Structure formats: structure tokens, C-alpha cells
């Protein structure tokens, strides 16, 4: 697909399907102290990555506006979250688990009614295909429901006393404080909620800032937050990170930073906190997951998994395959099959049936992709697929770059987009050394059949990355599996149940075995006098 063909992908206004039309979303609202307030200051204009073919050319499509809040408003949100937490004595952190669960259930039931609206805005705002946008919504709903069940399970397991060395103890988990939640633009709903919901349900209060792209889709949920949670438990802020996040981190009053984005930004944010030992971090960061295609790999399957693994949502996934190592013995066969799989991927607008390649939200990335390609070409690499790297407007056609080596930026930089470096190896030591010496440590995919080779590779790779995938692309799911990384790739582990742990700390009540103590505790339990001490079973 060359740039002239790409140009033709953009629709005119009449070609937008009736059910995918969108009215500009002008958001002035933000949530603070349980009240939905109107922002009277400046607003950020939002344009869709889906450009429109107008009479006078192809133009960005105006999608809406959101508040550009300032430092003072951000600090008010912090005050609100702190007040709701009240150093752990607020209504929310001291509430019974079952009551907090009811609030989240209420939120979830309202959220479900907004499905169509949120999916449509998500599609327009970040250019994710309609079917993947729907999957993102449904996966998030399922994640929230699973989180509720995981908390019930956790509570049941701690609804008894332990006895050791003459001491009884009830061991539970309690919240940490004020959590700042910042999700990424590639999964603005799902990845935000995989931290926000566990943080909330464990009794923390939250300040939530949506990513740079993927803000407006949260608007339909502001009211649901306000209706479902006590005042100040959820607060929303919007705007430029430097203006609104710097003072929050610098205040030293953020107890947990939940951030999915680059390690560079994470480092800046962490350093702003004046008491680093008090700050807990839950971070999902950079990755450069490698695929290793062994000489006995099922080529058809490996090529299919690598094409979709590298290009789902145009390669804008932290788990995307970002470099492919191919054994020299299958160089020709694999490369041809891989390129043909890519050429079969349908390019178009996100609402089209079966579409795979779509416009990208951050068009400044297009220059970056070009820079990476030019740098590689200058040092001997080649684009080997037809029209690889062609672009127009916000659409960039995937480029497969062969003969990539360690002198090139593509070797080590996380491209986070539709540029796929490939390289050929004789000895397995070459890809192994790559993974071992990489700054990243999220996942790897190995394609092959020889059980002895797979076993010995796995034994080395599990100490380099956090997930080794056999004959399939890298991915986060299923969400009950742990999702984490080594080195620059993550801090903390997320999964439905792990997330409940990272946003809480063990707390226990202990007493010596004496008749008087037993009588006191017995009375507390029988009369339901405490919210923490309880042997109730949550069904």
C-alpha cells in the first residue's frame, strides 16, 4: 500500500457508517470531593487519528475538548483524596469489605450501560479497531467482576484466626493511602482500570489522570464514579503532566504511584517524591520482546503469530513482538511467509470489518519511525516488504526491516509502532545474548519443536524475562496470570489477585492466649463490633 492508496483509506463524512457517527465531546466536568464540577479555564482540543476527506483535502477530525487543569486544581484533588482517606480513618478505608464491594458492583452496573458510547469514543479517540475497542471494554468489565470475586476469596481465606506460640492472630490486608493512577494511551480504559479498581476496592482513595490520548472515553463514567463512591474517594484530573503531576508527586502526599508508561517518565516521577521510602510503585514500563524462530519451527504458525504479535493495534502494545530472530536455515521460507502474512492484513478505518491496520493517535511518532528506519538503512539494513514505511497523515504502513544489527537504534529502542526489525542467526547464543544484555525484561516468544532445546532455552530465559511463550506471540492475558517484568520493564506484579496485594499491606490483630482476651475478642466477633476483626464469610 503506497501513500496514494493510503490517502484513499480516509473516508468522507458520508462514508462514516451511521452507527459510528460521533458528536464532539466537549468535556468541562471533573470530579472532586464527590461533586462533578465545571472547569472554567482553558481546554485541550482533541482530534481523532481518523482523518476526513473534505472537499479541500484530508483534514484532522475534531473530536472534542477536555479541561486543562492547573496546579491548584490538582492540589485540590489531592486534598480531597487525603480528606476521604483521613490518614486511614475515613469512611472508605474503614468500611467493611462487603460494603466496598457493593460500591464497586454499583459502579460496574452503571458502566455496563455505557458500553456502546464508550466503545465508540475509544475507537475515534485512539483509532483502535471497533472489534478491539469492544474487546477492551468487555475485558475490563470482566476484570472488574473477577476482581470482586478475587477479593471475596481473599477475605474468606483470612476470615479465621491463626494460632502459634501461644498467640492468636487474624491476618488481613489494609489499604496504603492515596493512589495516583495513570494509564497508557494504548489501553486507556483497560490498563487504567486494572490498577484503579483494585486500588479502590482495597480501601485506598484515588486521583485518576487519563493518558494524553484516550481521555474523552472516560467522560461517561464520571457520573458513575460520583454516584457509586463516597465523596473524595475518586478524583479526576486532566491536563499537562508537568503542570498537574509534578506538584502532586512533589508534595510527598502520594502513597502509591500506579503508572503505565515509559521508564523515563516513571523515573522522573519517582524522583520528585521527597520521601522515596514511603512511596510504593506499581509500574508497567518499556519492553522490547523478542521472537526467536528456531530451525524446526512450524513456519506457518510462527509467521502468523509474529505478524499479529508485532502488529496488533499497529504494534502499539507493550507486549508486542519488537524484534524477530530467525534461524539462518529457514531464513527464506520464514521471511517470505511472514511478509505475505503482513501483506494480507487489512488496512482501513477502525469500523471496517476485519480491519487490522489503522491510523495511529500520536502522529508525532511517524517522524520517529522514519528516523529509526533511516538510521537502520544508513547502517546497511533494508526495507523488505512492498511499500513498507509508506505513510500519509496518521497512517503508517508496516515496514519490515531486515539485517538489523546492534549498531542500529532499532536494535535497542522500543519502537512501539509498525516497524519490525528482523535479524538472522547461526548460533542460538546470538538471540540469547540479545535477551540477556537487553535493558528490558518483559517477555519472549520461542518457536520450535525440539523439547530438549526448548527446555534448555526456557531455563535460561525465565531468569531474563517474566514470561516465556512457546509457539505463540507475547501477551498479557489471561488476566489471572501474573503480568510483570524485570529491569526497565516493570515494578510490581499485576494480575487479578496480585493487584489486590500490591495496593494493600498485611495488617494483623494479635492477642495472647488468655481467658480474658478470648472473652473480649469473642464478644467483638459475636456482636460484629469491628469492621476489621470478623470471621464472616462473604458469599
Question: Nearer Cβ to ligand G3H, position 140 or 335?
Answer: 140
Give the shortest CB-120-to-ligand G3H separation in angstroms.
Answer: 21
Q: Is 335 in the site for ligand G3H (CB under 6 A)?
A: no
Is the separation of the CB atoms in 217 and 127 below 8 Å? no
Q: What is d(CA 235, CA 456) in angstroms, rounded to the nearest whole number?
A: 49
Contacts 24+ apart (CB under 8 A), 7-12: 7/58, 7/392, 7/393, 9/347, 9/348, 9/349, 9/395, 10/50, 10/51, 10/52, 10/53, 10/58, 10/349, 10/393, 11/50, 11/52, 11/53, 11/349, 12/52, 12/53, 12/54
Number of H helices, E strands in the chain: 17, 25
96: phi then psi, degrees, rounded to nearest 5: -65, 145
Give the shortest CB-331-to-ligand G3H separation in angstroms.
Answer: 28
Give the shortest CB-315-to-ligand G3H separation in angstroms.
Answer: 10
Is the separation of the CB atoms in 1 and 347 below 8 Å? yes
Among 76, 209, 288, 317, binds ligand G3H (CB under 6 A): 317
Q: What is d(CA 473, CA 153) in angstroms, rounded to the nearest whole number?
A: 31
Integer Rg of the chain from CA: 25
Please give the residues from 478 up to 537 whose contact with ligand G3H meets the rule CB under 6 A: none
Question: Nearer Cβ to ligand G3H, position 187 or 208?
Answer: 187
Q: Is 186 in the site for ligand G3H (CB under 6 A)?
A: yes
Give the shortest CB-322-to-ligand G3H separation in angstroms.
Answer: 12
Question: Nearer Cβ to ligand G3H, position 320 or 381?
Answer: 320
CA 266-363-402 angle, 5° bins: 85
Beta strand pairing call for 289-293 and 321-327: parallel
Give the shortest CB-443-to-ligand G3H separation in angstroms.
Answer: 9
Its sign, for the CA torsion 293, 295, 298, 303, is positive
Q: What is d(CA 365, CA 369) in angstroms, rounded to the nearest whole number?
A: 6
Q: Is 133 in the site for ligand G3H (CB under 6 A)?
A: no
Stretch that binds ligand G3H, among 186-194, 210-218, 456-464, 526-534 (CB under 6 A): 186-194
- Give Cα separations from 38 to 32, 35, 73, 212, 244 (angstroms): 10, 10, 12, 20, 17
Site track 189-208 with ligand G3H (rule: CB under 6 A), x = hit: --x-----------------
Q: What is d(CA 438, CA 409) in angstroms, rounded to the nearest whole number?
A: 13
Question: Nearer Cβ to ligand G3H, position 469 or 534?
Answer: 469
Give the shortest CB-186-to-ligand G3H separation in angstroms.
Answer: 5
Please give the residues from 357 up to 386 whose contact with ligand G3H meets the rule CB under 6 A: none
Give the shortest CB-416-to-ligand G3H separation in angstroms.
Answer: 9
Beta strand pairing call for 419-425 and 440-441: unpaired
- The SS3 assignment for 483 reads strand
Question: Nearer Cβ to ligand G3H, position 10 or 447?
Answer: 447
Site track 449-488 with ligand G3H (rule: CB under 6 A), x = hit: --------------------------xxx-----------
Q: Is 319 in the site for ligand G3H (CB under 6 A)?
A: yes
CA 369-370-371 angle, 5° bins: 90
Binding footprint of ligand G3H, residue count (CB under 6 A): 9
Give the shortest CB-28-to-ligand G3H separation in angstroms.
Answer: 30
Q: Is 288 in the site for ligand G3H (CB under 6 A)?
A: no
Among 61, 185, 187, 213, binds ligand G3H (CB under 6 A): 187
Give the shortest CB-187-to-ligand G3H separation in angstroms.
Answer: 6
Q: Is 170 in the site for ligand G3H (CB under 6 A)?
A: no
Question: Nearer Cβ to ligand G3H, position 170 or 186?
Answer: 186
Stretch that binds ligand G3H, among 50-58, 313-321, 330-338, 450-458 (CB under 6 A): 313-321
Helices (H), 202-328: 219-228, 241-250, 263-272, 299-311
Q: Is 143 in the site for ligand G3H (CB under 6 A)?
A: no
Please give the residues from 213 up to 272 whose contact with ligand G3H meets the rule CB under 6 A: none
Give the shortest CB-256-to-ligand G3H separation in angstroms.
Answer: 19
Its sign, for the CA torsion 508, 511, 512, 513, is negative
Question: Nearer Cβ to ligand G3H, position 187 or 334?
Answer: 187
Instruction: Give me the count of residues in the chain.
Output: 539
Give the shortest CB-287-to-ligand G3H separation in angstroms.
Answer: 8
Is the separation of the CB atoms in 483 and 284 below 8 Å? yes
Q: What is d(CA 109, CA 222) in angstroms, rounded to the nearest whole number?
A: 14
Give the shortest CB-138-to-ligand G3H separation in angstroms.
Answer: 13
Site track 33-52 with ligand G3H (rule: CB under 6 A), x = hit: --------------------
Give the shortest CB-40-to-ligand G3H separation in angstroms.
Answer: 35
Question: Nearer Cβ to ligand G3H, position 185 or 229?
Answer: 185
Q: Is 129 in the site for ligand G3H (CB under 6 A)?
A: no
Footprint on this chain of ligand G3H (rule: CB under 6 A)? 186-187, 191, 317-319, 475-477
Amino acid at each position: 500500500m503506497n501513500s496514494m492508496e493510503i490517502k484513499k483509506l480516509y473516508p468522507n463524512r458520508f462514508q462514516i457508517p451511521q452507527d459510528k457517527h460521533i458528536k464532539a465531546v466537549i468535556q468541562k466536568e471533573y470530579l472532586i470531593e464527590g461533586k462533578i464540577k465545571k472547569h472554567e479555564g482553558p481546554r485541550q482540543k482533541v482530534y481523532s487519528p481518523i482523518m476526513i476527506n473534505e472537499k479541500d483535502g484530508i483534514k484532522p477530525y475534531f473530536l472534542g475538548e477536555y479541561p486543562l487543569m492547573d496546579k491548584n486544581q490538582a492540589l485540590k484533588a489531592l486534598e480531597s483524596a487525603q480528606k476521604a482517606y483521613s490518614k486511614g480513618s475515613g469512611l472508605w478505608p474503614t468500611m467493611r469489605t462487603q460494603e466496598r464491594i457493593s460500591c464497586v458492583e454499583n459502579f460496574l452496573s452503571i458502566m455496563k450501560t455505557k458500553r456502546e458510547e464508550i466503545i465508540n469514543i475509544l475507537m475515534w479517540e485512539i483509532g483502535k479497531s471497533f472489534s478491539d475497542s469492544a474487546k477492551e471494554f468487555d475485558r475490563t468489565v470482566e476484570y472488574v467482576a473477577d476482581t470482586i470475586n478475587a477479593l471475596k476469596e481473599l477475605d474468606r481465606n483470612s476470615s479465621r484466626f491463626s494460632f502459634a506460640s501461644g498467640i492468636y492472630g487474624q491476618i488481613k490486608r489494609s489499604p496504603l493511602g492515596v493512589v495516583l493512577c495513570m494509564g497508557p494511551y494504548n489501553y486507556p480504559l483497560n490498563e487504567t482500570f486494572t490498577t484503579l479498581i483494585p486500588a479502590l476496592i482495597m480501601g485506598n482513595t484515588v486521583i485518576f489522570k487519563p493518558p494524553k490520548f484516550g481521555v474523552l472515553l472516560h467522560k461517561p463514567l464520571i457520573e458513575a464514579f460520583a454516584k457509586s463512591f463516597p465523596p473524595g474517594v475518586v478524583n479526576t484530573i486532566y491536563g499537562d503532566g508537568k503542570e498537574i503531576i509534578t506538584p502532586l508527586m512533589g508534595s510527598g502526599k502520594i502513597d502509591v504511584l500506579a503508572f503505565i508508561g515509559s521508564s523515563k517518565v516513571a523515573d522522573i516521577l519517582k524522583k520528585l517524591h521527597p520521601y522515596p521510602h514511603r512511596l510504593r510503585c506499581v509500574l508497567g514500563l518499556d519492553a522490547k520482546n523478542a521472537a526467536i524462530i528456531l530451525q524446526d519451527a512450524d513456519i506457518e504458525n510462527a509467521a502468523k503469530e509474529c505478524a499479529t504479535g508485532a502488529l496488533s493495534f499497529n504494534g502499539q502494545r507493550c507486549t508486542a513482538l519488537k524484534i524477530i530472530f530467525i534461524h539462518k536455515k529457514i531464513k527464506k521460507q520464514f521471511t517470505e511467509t511472514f511478509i505475505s502474512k503482513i501483506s494480507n492484513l487489512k488496512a482501513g478505518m477502525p469500523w471496517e470489518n476485519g480491519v487490522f491496520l489503522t491510523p495511529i493517535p500520536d502522529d508525532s511518532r511517524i517522524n520517529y519511525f522514519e528516523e529509526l528506519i533511516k538510521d537502520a538503512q544508513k547502517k546497511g539494513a533494508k526495507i523488505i516488504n512492498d511499500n513498507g514505511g509508506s505513510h500519509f497523515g496518521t497512517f503508517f504502513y508496516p515496514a519490515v526491516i531486515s539485517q538489523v544489527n546492534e549498531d542500529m537504534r532499532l536494535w535497542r529502542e522500543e519502537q512501539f509502532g509498525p516497524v519490525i526489525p528482523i535479524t538472522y542467526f547461526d548460533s542460538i547464543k546470538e538471540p540469547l545474548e540479545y535477551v540477556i544484555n537487553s535493558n528490558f525484561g518483559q517477555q519472549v516468544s520461542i518457536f520450535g519443536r525440539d523439547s530438549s532445546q526448548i527446555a534448555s532455552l526456557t531455563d535460561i530465559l525465565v531468569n531474563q524475562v517474566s514470561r516465556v511463550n512457546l509457539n505463540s506471540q507475547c501477551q498479557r492475558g489471561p488476566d489471572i496470570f501474573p503480568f510483570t517484568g524485570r529491569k526497565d520493564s516493570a515494578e510490581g506484579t499485576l494480575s487479578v489477585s496480585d493487584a489486590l496485594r500490591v495496593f494493600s499491606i498485611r495488617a494483623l490483630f494479635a492477642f495472647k492466649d488468655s481467658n480474658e482476651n478470648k472473652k473480649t475478642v469473642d464478644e467483638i466477633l459475636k456482636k460484629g463490633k469491628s469492621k476489621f476483626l470478623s470471621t464472616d464469610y462473604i458469599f
